[in-house]
Structure 1
């Protein structure tokens, strides 16, 4: 079977006008190849064993006549297109523009998240319906102890990274010495304070439909968890008494009669349902999403962080750029001059005084021709992204054991 596949004639490439370029993982995180797609015929035309500018430029020289090259924001592919097809029109992928924007927002939020956590919640954010949970159920003492140990280890790593970084060591050297990922080292080095783990929004629980009844009964003075559990069973609750005990334990006004003496000193006062600030990743997602599609909790979180002037300025500029990218191909809401709008945005970003935004703007200016073309034409690299997903499927059908020559033939022959 393998001899037959290797002996089959590959389909001819033919004349090319528009080509999409994207990378794919041979071994994720280690080695990568390049996939080239004919955008007119909507099919892959070749696989390359690496993603270096030299290899891609040599392939482009062997196929003259290419007028359009769509690609991601990779500097290697930009260099390859310039060397291999200097007359071709380069188009940056709009999806990657939004991705890079969200990454820039997330990096900045990771640095200032400790400051934003201290901002007061808005009245609209704190409002909740009876029986609505705004936080997860309290964990057991053993789970809390494990969490504190984990926090102590992360705090020690944070202080070590900060000490090394302030001593002049590079991020790469710190990562090698500490064994931490470079992304973690970068986050610790740039953070204004120790980045606490953000509290997630509560996931659905089978106790949720009965929360209003529990709150009403506890307001009436009933703090007997077993009695409340028996009442819920009569109402159809199928969970165990432990779930009710956990709910009641964090809202008691006094210790239970059978509480062991060693736990009396650890009894905490009743908790309030204050909404925690979402993580930097969640906030970055909220800030770059269309305003009309935001959920109420996302709108409330953005309103809360916008009490900080720098966050309000960053959020406004991020939303302006996201709207520009999304509407550039929409005939109904397309700006009259997308390139001019981009220049105005770049000027505002340079004057914002926010390093993360200034760095993002510098990257856009460096890739300015491809970015402007992306905003003024309908070309997209979406076809290459789709063929990458198809290539992954073919890899998995061979259990990841196919060598590059066989995988290349399967991709090209199946097209």
Structure 2
């Protein structure tokens, strides 16, 4: 029998076992071999400690990696043997679960999804499900009838499956998903209120030097024409599905156009990599006011700048640092507000007012002065955040939902309507300490394992490597 290596060499034990022969003709078994209580398993050619060592290495690293590691330690074994050892081991029975966390993960992104189950008391994964259907979850929950708390997002199948499979359990909506949904609503408001941002930009535009280089508009005339046609059809109560089919557009985009007065901008200027070299550029301009762009470009390339010659020229003009022939010219830029995507500027509405920088506070104040809708949205968001993190109490949630529903902000009204559909679980998110944070962490671990095996492993192997891995 193979055993753990000794002094860097593979070891083999020669075991003598007694055999007994039955002389009864009617007996179906003729040979009885001696069994051993410890260290040696029937039909195995490895000791228990070698078997356990191989199992642990295979669970930690997978097939090929485990084979290479074992070879380094003088344990000759193939990757298929290691995977077979893992496959034959049964999953350990989980202890009694009191609090359960549920979330989805992508088996194949945008096509097929599964579910991960985590014991929130220990933060350990306890199982994987091959889909995210309510019947699958409810069947799993019925087999474990003592679950008292279920933390989940607001996915409908998880809500119905939890109710059907564990009616005695308290359901808790994940706080992070609530803030994420609210953040998406704020981003849509900022896209709709682009006119207010544009008004701020125009009021803050600096004095322009001769022959400025103006940035091109990002929307083509055809896009603007299509936007006006969609708005006209919406005013005529043409169904959104029909408009989407006619213009080959997404229904989400058409719903966004419904609340916009002008075509929203999509993307703004992105960083070019010049920002970290600006101090050096200022220093060189001060040392040599007549420095040429080609010489400066060569010096920056030596410092790690990877932009092209023309990119450097445009970047210096944007920062009023043009050199050579373009020295003294200035590019007219939108204000700092317009450089931010709505997804970034929406974060200002959620940050603690005490932790905002001076520039961020100024941006937020100007936004609220330019738009009554944004000012009202900021008030609602801060009240929601106060209830969730500082008060940690849902006492004022019903009143908050009522006031938001009575407002004229369709994005927040839709968010409030969604809260009402799952109100009990949302209130528990405010009142109870449970959350899906540990579940999200285990999803990251699951993705790492899946990519380590190039996405080709079976669900059974993936589950064993996740659940049986040491904490």
Q: Same fold (TM over 0.5)?
A: yes
TM-score (normalised: structure 2) = 0.67
**Structure with bigger gyration radius:** 2
**Alpha-carbon offset, residue 393 of structure 1:** 0.4
Q: For structure 2, which runs of at least 5 residues remain unmatched after alignment?
A: 1-79, 207-211
In the other structure, the counterpart of 2:455 is 400
Instruction: Check conservation: 1:225, 1:245, Cα contact below 8 A.
Output: no
Cα distance in structure 2, aligned partners of 1:39 and 1:391:
16
In the other structure, the counterpart of 2:440 is 385
In the other structure, the counterpart of 1:10 is 91
Cα distance in structure 2, aligned partners of 1:402 and 1:46:
16
TM-score (normalised: structure 1) = 0.75
Secondary structure of the residue that 1:340 maps to in structure 2?
coil
**Alpha-carbon offset, residue 84 of structure 1:** 1.0
Change in CA separation of 1:27 and 1:175 when aligned onto 2, cut-off 3 Å: farther
Q: How many residues align structurally?
A: 374
In the other structure, the counterpart of 1:368 is 423
Cα distance in structure 1, aligned partners of 2:439 and 2:377:
32
Is 1:355 the counterpart of 2:355? The answer is no
Is 1:80 the counterpart of 2:80? The answer is no
Instruction: Check conservation: 1:91, 1:370, Cα contact below 8 A.
Output: yes
Cα distance in structure 2, aligned partners of 1:167 and 1:403:
53
Q: Deviations over 1:2-39 (max 9, x none)?
A: 33222111110232211100000111111111111111
Cα distance in structure 2, aligned partners of 1:97 and 1:63:
28
Match of 1:282 among 335, 339, 344: 344
Q: After superposition, where does 1:231-246 map in structure 2 within 5 Å?
A: 246=314
In the other structure, the counterpart of 2:377 is 314
Cα distance in structure 2, aligned partners of 1:74 and 1:6:
33
Instruction: Check conservation: 2:297, 2:312, Cα contact below 8 A.
Output: no
Q: Deviations over 1:244-294 (max 9, x none)?
A: 854787899xxx999xxxxxxxxx987377434333212211111221222
In the other structure, the counterpart of 2:397 is 342
Relative contact order (alpha carbons < 8 A, sep ≥ 6): 1 or 2 greater? Answer: 1
**Alpha-carbon offset, residue 161 of structure 1:** 4.8
**Alpha-carbon offset, residue 43 of structure 1:** 1.3
Q: For structure 1, which runs of at least 5 residues remain unmatched after alignment?
A: 128-136, 259-267, 328-333
In the other structure, the counterpart of 2:354 is 292
Cα distance in structure 2, aligned partners of 1:303 and 1:83:
48
Change in CA separation of 1:5 and 1:247 when aligned onto 2, cut-off 3 Å: closer
Is 1:54 the counterpart of 2:135? The answer is yes
Instruction: Check conservation: 2:201, 2:334, Cα contact below 8 A.
Output: no
Change in CA separation of 1:52 and 1:190 when aligned onto 2, cut-off 3 Å: farther
Change in CA separation of 1:50 and 1:248 when aligned onto 2, cut-off 3 Å: closer
Cα distance in structure 1, aligned partners of 2:123 and 2:103:
14
Change in CA separation of 1:194 and 1:216 when aligned onto 2, cut-off 3 Å: farther
| Cα RMSD, aligned residues only | 4.0
Q: Deviations over 1:205-240 (max 9, x none)?
A: 3662267689999xxxx9x784x8879999xx9789
Match of 1:31 among 78, 94, 112: 112
Cα distance in structure 2, aligned partners of 1:316 and 1:384:
31
Secondary structure of the residue that 2:199 maps to in structure 1?
coil
